[in-house]
Amino acid sequence: METIIKGVSKPLLKNERKIGSEAPAIILEMLNGEMKVIGMMATKVQVMITLPFQNSLSKELLNIIEKYQEQAFIYLICSTKLEEEVNIENSSVDFVEFSKKFGVYIDETLCAKSLFIINKDGQFVYKEITKDVEDAFDLEMFETKLDEAIHFKKKGHVHETWMGA
């Protein structure tokens, strides 16, 4: 995988994550100083958003985050503090190890622009890594996939099927 920065193609280093695979657990320090373990099984769907620059958070993406923040754990990870006012309990500049584990590491100062949705079972159900760090996310697809993940109901056995009726 690679991404483009100011017209120059850069390889993304470390692990590439695939849909259906298990998300890695990672400890992140949030902007409020709290340490959180994220990425594995959780009580809500998790969204990991990496942004390369302090001005990379669009108003449209922020609107989606605000719309779903009660229904999902949404984390913003950037190499520098974002210009936009965000929830410091779920925002971090502790991006190096995270970006290596999630396959969006460029170098010690930068990560690719990416979105990951992880279901309650700790599996990747959606990912988007923009081709160029300046590109916009496909927010319509992201919101559709996030809504699907939040409202997904696991199919269990039906009593009659289990009884052999």
Phi, psi of 149 (to 5 degrees): -65, -40
Phi, psi of 147 (to 5 degrees): -60, -45
Q: Is residue 163 part of a domain?
A: no
Provide the CATH number for the domain around residue 133. 3.40.30.10
Q: Is residue 35 part of a domain?
A: yes
Q: Is residue 155 part of a domain?
A: no
**What's the pLDDT at 8?**
86
Q: Is residue 154 part of a domain?
A: no
Number of domain units in the chain: 1
**What's the pLDDT at 158?**
55
Q: Is residue 40 part of a domain?
A: yes
Q: Is residue 159 part of a domain?
A: no
Confidence of residue 84 (pLDDT cuts 50, 70, 90): confident
Residue range(s) defining the domain that contains residue 59: 1-149
For 28-81, the pLDDT digits (tens) are 999 999 999 998 889 999 999 999 999 999 999 999 999 999 999 999 999 898
Q: Is residue 113 part of a domain?
A: yes
Q: Which residue in 48, 99, 104 sits closest to 72, CA to CA?
A: 48
Q: Is residue 90 part of a domain?
A: yes
Is the per-residue pLDDT at 154 higher than 80?
Answer: no
